[in-house]
Structure 1
Amino acid sequence: MKHSLPFLGLLATVTGLSLSSCDTTRETVSTAASPATMRSEANGLDTITSYHRDLTQGTTQYNVKTTGDGSMRMLTVAVRQNGRPLASRQDTLDGEVQQTALLLTPGGQPNLLVFVQSAGSGSYGQLYGYWVDGQALRRLPGLPDLAGAASQGYQGHDSLQVLSQEVVRSFPIYAPADANCCPSGGQRTVRYTLVNPSQGWRQVRVEQTSAK
């Protein structure tokens, strides 16, 4: 059957509009997929390993790892004994790991210590401690709050380390008018011992060094 030229022209116009509509739909679907890809890449940043260390005491190995590179990070501690997985646990940190160490109690119980410096201008020191109880990994109590003369002039900026089976906490002393950048009161050191995991930490002495 033959069609007139005006009818064929109208048919071509309608067909062209239909094809144009299909192309627009495909572009919209493709564009909508891009944000999902970006979100996936952003979430991938949380898997960055920002700290990793293995420590060994006898036949027991401790694996310490944090993931994330912002102020909030995930700490994972895994323990292996004689090469076999024994226990693990995770904790959320507000800050970053500065160092790790093993501390033996007087009875020979090994304890894993994770020293953390908080985010923010105060850079407060925190201690995360762990000990193996059978096939479970338990948290040690935190260091006791500073009190009395030991707390005078304290505004954070702690450093924590293990020396001679003691945890040594040092920090600058601030006078009332000191800015955060410029403490003028010298340095104070507080020493702690761990009698056993259930009793927690005991403050044994406080030392102070005057500013020069």
Structure 2
Amino acid sequence: MKYTLLLSTLLLSLTACQNTNPQILDKNTASHSNTSTTVKADNTTSNASGNYNKSIRYKDFSARVVSTPDGNGGYDLKIQPMGEKVIERHIDDPVIDAAVGDLNGDGFYEILVFTQSVGSGSYGNVIAYSSNKGQSWSEVSYPELPSKLTQGYMGHDKFEMVDNVLVRQFPLYLEGDTNANPKGKMRQIQYDLNDGEASRQFVVSEVNEF
């Protein structure tokens, strides 16, 4: 049932398009200085220069995600959760989208930022922070693609949050395919958000091809 819902939603855009050091950010003392189908986003700006500015909302929560080039090939990312300290970090690739929702069903929120490398591969990544009962923010670990799922993979990732589930899609390449013309199927991966030993982490929960 869940797969059918996700597939029907994501088939509308078949053009397919890792974080291992978690941080905990207390909303009062943090030194780091503001889509689900129910997420509202507005005031979005994004351009070829790598600047990104988007307001994201989920229920009574909102945040603003801003990314600007640092002048050295990277980007400065700022996430401003409503009424809290700004989360600041450096990232390697430009931001292409952002979303907010409750991925583990605990009544609090996760902020997801999707990036994509510059170049023909367009390799995607997820930067995510999870609220600790509204008192602090922890960075969520996003895993490397499992080796069994790398066959036919050449980038062009697309990420979406659908009904509070993180979904990743990318085209599969057959032998001899050019980067611009994949002829294989589309692979779709769903992720659950679980509590790990050191931090919350995304774990592959379902894989489908169509």
Alignment TM class, shorter chain as reference: 0.5 to 0.7
Residue 69 (structure 1) shift = 8.4
Percent of aligned pairs with the same residue? 29
Encode CA deviations 1:32-61: one digit per residue, 9 max, x unaligned: xxxxxxxxxxxxxxxx88111122345543
Match of 2:75 among 73, 77, 81: 73
Larger RCO (alpha carbons 8 Å, 6+ apart): 2
Q: Could you say if the C-alpha distance between residues 128 and 183 of structure 1 is closer, same or farther in structure 2, counting changes exceeding 3 Å?
A: same
Residue 165 (structure 1) shift = 1.6
Cα distance in 2 for partners of 1:165, 1:135 equals 21
Contact 1:150 1:190 (8 Å CA) reproduced: no
Contact 2:130 2:139 (8 Å CA) reproduced: yes
Aligned residue pair count: 157
Encode CA deviations 1:157-188: one digit per residue, 9 max, x unaligned: 00000112211100010113212111111211
Cα distance in 2 for partners of 1:130, 1:179 equals 36
Contact 2:166 2:192 (8 Å CA) reproduced: yes
Contact 1:88 1:137 (8 Å CA) reproduced: no
* Matched residue, 1:141: 141
Cα distance in 2 for partners of 1:76, 1:94 equals 14
Cα distance in 2 for partners of 1:196, 1:55 equals 24
Give the TM-score of the pair, scaled to structure 2. 0.67
SS in 2 for 1:169: strand
Q: Counting helix residues as a fraction of each chain, which structure ranks higher? A: 1
Cα distance in 2 for partners of 1:50, 1:77 equals 14
Cα distance in 2 for partners of 1:205, 1:56 equals 27
* Matched residue, 1:183: 182
* Matched residue, 1:155: 154
Cα distance in 2 for partners of 1:49, 1:173 equals 27
* Matched residue, 2:191: 192
Give the TM-score of the pair, scaled to structure 1. 0.66
* Matched residue, 2:101: 103
Contact 2:50 2:94 (8 Å CA) reproduced: no
Give unpaired runs (5+ residues) of structure 2.
Answer: 1-48
SS in 1 for 2:149: helix
Q: Could you say if the C-alpha distance between residues 181 and 49 of structure 1 is closer, same or farther in structure 2, counting changes exceeding 3 Å?
A: closer
SS in 2 for 1:66: strand
Who wins on radius of gyration, i.e. which is larger? 1
Structure 2: which amino acid aligns with 1:75? L
